[in-house]
Structure 1
Amino acid sequence: MNYNFYLVDDDPSVLSILSKIIVSNNLGDVIGKSSEGEHAIAEIVRLKPDILLVDLLLPKKDGIRVVQEVKGHYPEIPCIMISEVYSKDMVSKAYNSGIELFINKPINVIEVINVIKRVDEKLKMKRVIDSFQTAFQSMQSLKEAVPTAENLKNPKLESARQIFNHLGILSEAGTKDILNMLEFIFEKGDANKRNIFDHKLSDLYDYVSIKYEKEKGELVSEKAIEQRIRRTIGQALGNIAELGLHDYEHHVFEKYASSLFDLREVRKEMDYIKRNSKTRGKISIKKFILGLIEEVN
């Protein structure tokens, strides 16, 4: 596990015990602590922890109100309630506020570890479900997309679309821009030459901009096109890095991590996702386009 925890309890000894249990059992890192609710909420919003542990009975603002307000900012954050109160009404109210599980006082090491492991299992299951939903949405987008005349003439563009589907970016705005850039390259017959980028990227952006204006009357600047493409490739990098963390031998990761990206940058992105680094991996538009051309030729 590699989660960031935030702890809220008005008893300093409880905060100390919980911190030691989390760190010594490699459950993650404690990135913040507070002894009262109001201060805790402001820090939680700023720090965005992965898991919140909060005492039920706090001065001024109790744990239930803390959870309710935190959930207003981050609905998906798992919240674990710490309590020595056994009132059914209070427990029911706590669950209704959005907590996942309870840890009873006095603190028991085994119980804390088991409760956090159960939350970990729920988070992993949610990631699996989300990945299936993303894949399903991409498949639906692929089915619903109407091929253009250019796509019908050039199966290489359809192959590129399949790659975008594998990368989870088929519905991103920059995908259409990239396809239009590929169309320009294929029409000129440059895809079979090693000096494809004798063309400046700005020339390709200009071609796409003019195409939109002529065909649809859309005025899209070259800068806007570049930004959309950069965001889309950045999303692809994040998706491939996430995939590599879950399954380094997955065929999509093995096929595209080095052909479309710099593998060192993929590893940087993986470290960023794992919170081992504050620096994200970088993308190269040229590398991505050249890799695509190699893949579809």
Structure 2
Amino acid sequence: MEKTFLIIDDDINIRKMLGIIIKKNNLGRVICELDSGEHGVQEILFYNPSIVLIDLLMPVKDGIEVINSATKMGYKGKFIMISQVEDEALVSRAYESGIKFFIGKPINNIEVIKVIKGVCENIDLENSLNLIKDAVFNLKDSGTNTIEQLDIDKKITSIFTDIGISAVIGSNDLRKIIYKILEIRRKDPSSNYALQSIYEEIVEEESKESTLANKKALEQRVRRTIQKAFTTIAELGCEDYSNSIFTEYSTLLFDFKQIRQEIRHINNSSEDPGKISVKKFIEGIITKVS
């Protein structure tokens, strides 16, 4: 899967150089750039990039503060620290915050490529191990055979990639919700479910690992993620109504009248934006993967 990058550095030249190196060497895609650490944690949690390239010394909030906060709030991706600081105490603090990879300033192309490729290989290895572990252990009691589960997961990932949310942190929450509904339907195809109950169940499970888990935050992540998909589909429709992704998902996941309203809003900001239905979106995904 393509790696996504978020770059935080107060030097625009550094940000641009890193972006060019990543693009030219097919290392992945830069999805966000920030010039300070002020909103770094919020943006990391929203975009959920594979890798965050972050400067050590920045105004408002330094790199170590951002790393510590984002990690505590659930970010599982990798950080690469960018710095020319040689102060042993600062470097020690960086290691204590979990940093394992550094890129020195001034930027050196060969070093950047080498470090990023190493981190990407590290991510791929971890993902493979986690996939095997999930397939063998976590899915054993679900009543679904491993091959079927992997096929469903592959379909969900493909859909999320198509609609532009595969790198958004809320996509993990959506995946959990979909699995729970599929399990309910597997036991009784005619049964109904309440999203609020599923939210509560997920939060209860997450609270065993994190005191930060709460229902309101889960709902916000889910809605924000679906809103991102909604905007992506509407933007595709603005460009080309015959776009294959637009024609496939505009009615499957959303109310088409609301998609048209969102297109009008994109073309003219004075128009009201379109609205999403969380349940319709989730049901559309379930229909597609079942």
* TM-score with structure 2 setting the length: 0.54
Cα displacement (A) at 1:225: 8.8
- In structure 2, do the counterparts of structure 1 residues 11 and 134 end up closer, same or farther at CA, with 3 Å as the change threshold? same
Cα displacement (A) at 1:41: 2.7
**Matched residue, 1:168:** 149
DSSP 3-state at the match of 1:7 = strand
- In structure 2, do the counterparts of structure 1 residues 141 and 20 end up closer, same or farther at CA, with 3 Å as the change threshold? same
Cα displacement (A) at 1:168: 3.1
Aligned-residue sequence identity (percent) comes to 34
Q: Which residues of structure 1 form unaligned runs of 5+?
A: 143-160, 182-204, 206-221, 229-263, 270-278, 289-297
Q: Is the 8 A contact 1:37 1:60 kept in 2?
A: yes
Separation in structure 1 between the aligned mates of residue 196 and residue 58 of structure 2, nearest angstrom: 47
Per-residue deviation, residues 212-266 of structure 1 (Å, max 9, x unmatched): xxxxxxxxxx4229999xxxxxxxxxxxxxxxxxxxxxxxxxxxxxxxxxxx99x
**Matched residue, 1:59:** 59
Separation in structure 2 between the aligned mates of residue 139 and residue 70 of structure 1, nearest angstrom: 29
Q: Is the 8 A contact 2:48 2:75 kept in 1?
A: no
Separation in structure 2 between the aligned mates of residue 43 and residue 93 of structure 1, nearest angstrom: 23
Separation in structure 1 between the aligned mates of residue 34 and residue 183 of structure 2, nearest angstrom: 45
Equivalent AA in structure 2 for residue 26 of structure 1 = N
Q: Is the 8 A contact 1:174 1:225 kept in 2?
A: no
Separation in structure 2 between the aligned mates of residue 60 and residue 51 of structure 1, nearest angstrom: 22
**Matched residue, 1:21:** 21
Cα displacement (A) at 1:137: 1.3
Separation in structure 2 between the aligned mates of residue 176 and residue 66 of structure 1, nearest angstrom: 39
DSSP 3-state at the match of 2:61 = coil
Larger Rg: 1
Equivalent residues in 2 for 1:36-185 (5 A)?
36-138=36-138, 140-141=140-141, 161=143, 164-168=145-149, 174-175=182-183, 177-180=185-188
DSSP 3-state at the match of 1:103 = strand
Separation in structure 2 between the aligned mates of residue 116 and residue 47 of structure 1, nearest angstrom: 19
Name the one with the larger helix percent.
1
Per-residue deviation, residues 272-293 of structure 1 (Å, max 9, x unmatched): xxxxxxx9984438x95xxxxx
Aligned length: 183
Separation in structure 2 between the aligned mates of residue 283 and residue 83 of structure 1, nearest angstrom: 46
Q: Is the 8 A contact 1:3 1:28 kept in 2?
A: yes
DSSP 3-state at the match of 1:60 = coil
- In structure 2, do the counterparts of structure 1 residues 177 and 42 end up closer, same or farther at CA, with 3 Å as the change threshold? closer
Separation in structure 2 between the aligned mates of residue 47 and residue 226 of structure 1, nearest angstrom: 24
Alignment of 1:284 with 2:273, yes or no, is: no
- In structure 2, do the counterparts of structure 1 residues 22 and 174 end up closer, same or farther at CA, with 3 Å as the change threshold? closer
DSSP 3-state at the match of 2:193 = helix
**Matched residue, 1:248:** none
**Matched residue, 2:192:** 223
Root-mean-square deviation (Å): 3.5
Cα displacement (A) at 1:166: 2.9
